[in-house]
Amino acid sequence: MTRVLFVCTGNVHRSVLAERLLAARLRPGSAVLPESAGTQAWPRAGMERATRVLLEELGGDGSGFVARPLGVELVADAALVLGLAREHREAAVRLAPVALRRCFTLKEFVRLAAGAALPPDDGRIDGRIGATVAAVAARRGRVAPVAPHEDDIADPWGRPHHELGGCAREIDGQVTSLARLLEGAGADV
């Protein structure tokens, strides 16, 4: 299995939505294993009710979720680490500096991949994902920068319910593109 790790603050809304929505958007039997963690999370079973309702409305599965803190091993074991905001990407890099070229924000990765020369689908998920991550990393510094907030997905914690809904839909759009990238179909299919 090829691990893709999503990181947010509490592992309560954004990262779990990304994990479970990516799982729902991947082809059946995919070798990609979406996971999530939080920079300030503590282990606890179950998902917040409002998050689970939105997740399931979008076709994701909320069962069996356990929140967990971000750790060195999680970052080291992931083929791709995707923060939901720049602060999460930076936290992962601080834990495992050698993972720098595998750490992005979700929106940054999808944005940079849009213009990258990505490898063809050769049936080998590990090699293709590694080559895709390397191609996307090579575009850093070569494309025009965006305003910092454009690569972040806003934290809905403590905000009105409609903002959680907007966050969930934004994440769903991003992970739908990500699923296409990871499975070799390209970002604009």
Per-residue confidence band for 122, with pLDDT thresholds at 50, 70 and 90: low
Cα–Cα distance, 20 to 187 (Å, whole number)? 19
The continuous run of DSSP H or E covering 8 comes out as: strand 2-8
Strands of the 103-105 sheet, one edge to the other: 32-38, 2-8, 80-83, 103-105
Does the pLDDT value for residue 127 go beyond 80?
no
- Counting beta carbons within 10 angstroms of the beta carbon of residue 145, is it exposed (0 to 12), middle (13 to 18) or buried (19 or more)? exposed
Residue 189 is predicted with a pLDDT of 36
Global pTM reads 0.94
Condensed to tens digits (0 to 9), the pLDDT of residues 106-118 reads: 999 999 999 888 8
Using a pLDDT cut of 70, give the percent of the chain over it.
94
- Asked whether the beta carbons of 7 and 39 are under 8 A apart, the reply is yes
Residue 102 is predicted with a pLDDT of 97
Condensed to tens digits (0 to 9), the pLDDT of residues 9-61 reads: 999 999 999 999 999 999 999 999 999 999 999 999 999 999 999 999 999 99
Q: Can you tell me which residue has the tokens 């993972």? A: 99
Cα–Cα distance, 116 to 156 (Å, whole number)? 31
Q: HSE of 124 in the Cβ direction (CA atoms, 13 Å)?
A: 7
Per-residue confidence band for 188, with pLDDT thresholds at 50, 70 and 90: very low
**CA-based angle 46:29:102, to the nearest 5?**
75
Condensed to tens digits (0 to 9), the pLDDT of residues 148-171 reads: 899 999 999 999 999 999 999 999
One-letter amino acid for residue 146 of the chain: V
